[in-house]
Amino acid sequence: MSLQSSTGKIGFLFLLFAFLLPQLSNAYSGPSKRFLVFHLDPQYKHQVAKGYGYMMELDPSGLVKILARYPITYGKRGTNKRRENDQKTPIGIYKITKKVNTPKSGYKKFGGRNISLNYPNRHDKAARRTGHSIAIHGGRTNPTLGCVRVLDGSIVAPSFGKRNIRHMSNMVPTGSSVIIAEDINKSLINEPGNYLDPIASEFWINLLKKDLGKGSMIQEFLAFNQLPSPNSIASSKANSWALSSGPARPLSTTIKKNNLSVTASSTYGKKSLYGTKNLLDDEAASAWIPEPIDKEKQLTYAYDFARNIQKFSIKVGYDKFFVNGKHKFDLWGQNARPSVIQLTFDDGSKEKIQLRDTRNSVEYTLSKVYKSKTIQVQVIEFIPGKKFKENICISELKFK
């Protein structure tokens, strides 16, 4: 073989590698930290596309990031698959078992890709649900016989699905989790390219760890929204799926400790995680967080008897770190902190306090001694967080 021909072949291979490298870099080959969430959204029931699919990824920071969003459609006869040939799409948490390129004869039908799921899973089998060959695929915009169809375009103007399904197939590895649900609160999703807040991120991570069946998964969504269980909700379908309507309701939470009870006008997410108990636990990595939609953003400290109040200590922010391998993510600056609060006492007296923006606990002295049984604390102004702009956090608050 001549040197010239060898050089030519090497040059050809180099050019081929240079061409293929960008294509190969688009495929995900790392650990299965990506998962899919398909929101079969009732608000789109009159559209050709009937919801969105989200590609999510657990970031090294410990937060969940939205990588992509795709318009979807699903079973011709709706959801809650129970038996073979009922033309319904199952609800639950599944795994990707394999990914195949469909043959040319089925190209238009499936858009060139077919992502198989492990339906029926063990929960489906325990509930005696039957059927097989449930998958995610592309293709025409008409409803499916039970699969999830990924489309191109938008909800209003969907088109032949082959670009999005190819992207999804390339980016999500076999073995990844797939959540199919119709009761997803809007605070659990976001626009592509954005991170979810710590509360929503923690919800998805815990949900995937539990490998829940359909009924248990609904309970988890209800618990996140602080709504009663399905047994105590009115039987109408609108009420049964009330949590699809928007952000969680601002509900009050109360904690009682010794001779003191603390009531909040609202608590964001699970009250067990971000409720008023965190204000008294001497734990820096916990906080009370009110609902962003709560206009009051107020705490009421009520003692069993009137007492003299002249000082209080407060620690603003959410002083918590997410650690994932070598990465450490500080949440204090990412969340909002109160900058001005107003205190109201039994006699109607009010006093505004300008707070220092520091992660240390700070003691403040009031302008005089107040004798009061109750103290109302209202957030008047706050410093937006870098990432979670309206998640106002107070770690500790105690009166002396």
Q: What is the DSSP string of 143-161?
A: -BSSSEEE-EE-SSSEE-B
Write down the pLDDT at residue 326. Answer: 55
Closest by Cα among 232, 216, 212, 113 to 172: 113
CA distances from 140 to 54, 73, 115, 278 (A): 20, 10, 16, 52
The number of C-alpha atoms within 13 Å of 193 and in the hemisphere containing its C-beta is 0
Residues 206 and 340 in one domain: no
Instruction: Tell me whether residue 371 is in a domain.
Output: yes
Asked if residues 72 and 164 have their Cβ atoms less than 8 Å apart, the reply is no
Q: Where are the alpha helices (DSSP H) in the chain?
A: 3-25, 107-110, 122-126, 163-171, 198-210, 214-224, 237-240, 271-274
Residues 119 and 151 in one domain: yes
Percent of the chain with pLDDT over 90: 45
Least confident of 67-81, 117-131, 190-204, 346-360: 190-204
Write down the pLDDT at residue 214. Answer: 79
d(CA 79, CA 180): 10
Instruction: Tell me whether residue 169 is in a domain.
Output: yes
Long-range contact pairs involving 246-253 (C-beta distance under 8 Å, separation at least 24): 246/185, 246/186, 247/185, 247/186, 247/187, 247/291, 247/292, 247/293, 248/185, 248/187, 248/224, 248/291, 249/225, 249/291, 250/290, 250/291, 250/293, 250/294, 251/226
Give the CATH number for residue 176. 2.40.440.10
Give the CATH number for residue 271. 2.60.120.260
Closest by Cα among 238, 268, 234, 236 to 253: 268
Instruction: Tell me whether residue 9 is in a domain.
Output: no
Asked if residues 181 and 149 have their Cβ atoms less than 8 Å apart, the reply is no
Which of 219, 240, 261 lies at the terminal end of a domain, its last residue? 240
Q: Is the pLDDT of residue 243 over 60?
A: no
Percent of the chain with pLDDT over 70: 79
Higher pLDDT, 376 or 112: 376
Q: Is the pLDDT of residue 249 over 50?
A: no
Residue 392's pLDDT band, with cuts at 50, 70 and 90, is very high
Residues 235 and 262 in one domain: no
Least confident of 93-97, 125-129, 332-336: 332-336
Read off the pLDDT of each residue in 232-245 and give the average, rounded to a whole number.
29
* Phi-psi region at 383: left, alpha or beta (left = phi > 0; alpha = psi -120 to 50): beta
Number of domains in the chain: 2
The structure tokens listed for 274 are 């971000």
Least confident of 52-56, 100-104, 211-215, 239-243: 239-243
Instruction: Tell me whether residue 13 is in a domain.
Output: no
Residues 60 and 93 in one domain: yes
Write down the pLDDT at residue 369. Answer: 96
Cis peptide before 120 (omega within 30 of 0): yes
Instruction: Tell me whether residue 7 is in a domain.
Output: no
Give the type of residue at 152. D
Residues 337 and 364 in one domain: yes
Write down the pLDDT at residue 218. Answer: 75
Residue 8's pLDDT band, with cuts at 50, 70 and 90, is low
Residues 69 and 181 in one domain: yes
Instruction: Report how far apart the first and last C-alpha atoms of the chain are (Å, whole number).
Output: 91
CA distances from 3 to 6, 11, 105, 180 (A): 5, 12, 46, 59
What confidence tens digit (pLDDT) does each residue in 68-108 have? 999 999 998 988 899 999 999 999 999 999 998 876 656 66
3-class SS of residue 14: helix
CB atoms within 10 A of CB 142: 9
What confidence tens digit (pLDDT) does each residue in 157-195 have? 888 888 899 999 999 999 999 999 987 887 788 888 888
Residue 319's pLDDT band, with cuts at 50, 70 and 90, is confident
Residues 262 and 235 in one domain: no
Which of 188, 215, 240 lies at the terminal end of a domain, its last residue? 240
The structure tokens listed for 103 are 């043959």
pTM: 0.57
Range of the domain at 271: 253-399
d(CA 241, CA 233): 10
Residue 253's pLDDT band, with cuts at 50, 70 and 90, is low
The structure tokens listed for 236 are 């109408």
Read off the pLDDT of each residue in 20-42 and give the average, rounded to a whole number.
62
Q: Is the pLDDT of residue 109 over 80?
A: no
Residues 257 and 210 in one domain: no
Residues 284 and 232 in one domain: no
Residues 198 and 285 in one domain: no
Q: Is the pLDDT of residue 131 over 50?
A: yes
